[in-house]
Amino acid sequence: MEPASRWESRAPESWSASHVLVWQPSELTEIYREGLNLCVWRRGLGSGLSRWLASLCARHTLHVVERVDARRLDFRRTLAELPEVEEREAWCDDLRLLCQVYADLLECRWLGVRLTTSEREMCPRFHVDRVGVRLLCTYAGPATEWLENADVLREGLGPKGEVLRPGGRVQRLERFDVALLKGEAWPANSGNGVVHRSPALVPGQRRIMLSIDAVD
């Protein structure tokens, strides 16, 4: 599978054998690099939107699970229950941007979108996903934790195994990072899916998470 021709890529500022950080959305084509299983667009959101999302996380529970047409993206209807304020419009624009970036990069039309608020770990154990490429973005609360390939004992994946190699370090994405995670279903990536988990939440702590997958 080759990168979409409309995308232009430049060398990232830092990379390792299995993950890379990039600074522009066009550089997300690095996910096509052979052997690499995690590409992270490190970005930030405006402080006003950031504060609004933190407040929203504390006051509202979101549970959006939709099959979305990338040609007709409109999150205003999806989030119609939220107050019609400037920050909601900015968030709708950002959600539409991430869906469009993913659809263009993977050259797919239909997206499985999950936008949820949670107050407990949804996937507390380290695991891999049986997908091609999944986009994750944490809008509020602690972000997803993951392991560099060199720190993984893959034979420990499962309900009771030990996955973190002695001396290894648990890594964590930053809030607002746009992360592309290769799963086990990506071509020639069996046995190399990103090992990751939901972060632990203390009582009263919540998070807002977006995930996007290509669907039929």
Q: What is the pLDDT of residues 67-109, one digit of tens each?
A: 999 999 999 999 999 999 999 999 999 999 999 999 999 999 9
Query: Domain holding 79: CATH number?
Result: 2.60.120
Exposed e or buried b for every residue in 126-145, given b needs 16+ CB within 10 A? bbbbebbbbbbbbbbbbbbb
Domain count, the chain: 1
Residue 87 within a domain: yes
Contact 182, 31 (CB under 8 A): yes
Domain-embedded: residue 203? yes
171 beta partners: 146
Q: Is residue 137 one of the residues assigned to a domain?
A: yes
Average pLDDT, the chain: 90
Q: Provide mean pLDDT across the span 168-181.
A: 97
**Tell me, what's the pLDDT at 39?**
97
Mean per-residue pLDDT, 45-73: 95
Q: Which segment of 6-15, 52-61, 103-112, 144-153 scores lowest on mean pLDDT?
A: 6-15
- The SS3 of residue 110 is strand
54 lies in a domain? yes
Q: In sequence order, which residues have a C-beta less than 8 Å from that of residue 43 and are 6 or more positions away?
A: 23, 176, 177, 178
CB 189 within 8 A of CB 128: no
Q: What CA–CA distance (Å, rounded) separates 111 from 200?
A: 28
Rounded to 10 degrees, what is the CA torsion of 182, 184, 189, 193?
50
Report the pLDDT value the prediction gives residue 51, as an integer from 0 to 100.
96
Interval 13-24: pLDDT, tens: 444 569 999 999
Q: Is residue 2 part of a domain?
A: no
What is the C-alpha separation between 182 and 162, in angstroms, rounded? Answer: 22
Tell me, yes or no, whether 7 lies in a domain.
no
Facing residues of 40 across strands?
21, 179
* pLDDT tier for residue 2 given thresholds of 50, 70 and 90: very low
Please report, rounded to a whole number, the percentage of residues in the chain having pLDDT higher than 90: 82
Q: Which two tokens stand for residue 197?
A: 């988990």
Cβ contacts of 128 within 8 Å, gap of 6 or more: 157, 183, 184, 193, 194, 195, 196
107-122 per-position pLDDT tens digit: 999 999 999 999 876 7
What does the pLDDT read at residue 17? Answer: 67
162-190 average pLDDT score = 96
125 in a structural domain: yes
Is residue 5 assigned to a domain? no
CA-CA distance, 103 to 111, in Å (whole number)? 8
Q: What is the pLDDT of residue 11?
A: 42
pLDDT at 160: 75
Domain that holds residue 78: 14-214
Res. 124 pLDDT band, cuts 50 70 90: confident
Sheet holding 110-118, edge to edge: 14-15, 19-22, 38-41, 178-182, 133-140, 207-214, 110-118, 63-69
Find tokens 């380290």 and name the residue. Answer: 126
pLDDT for residue 14: 43
Write down the pLDDT at residue 121.
67
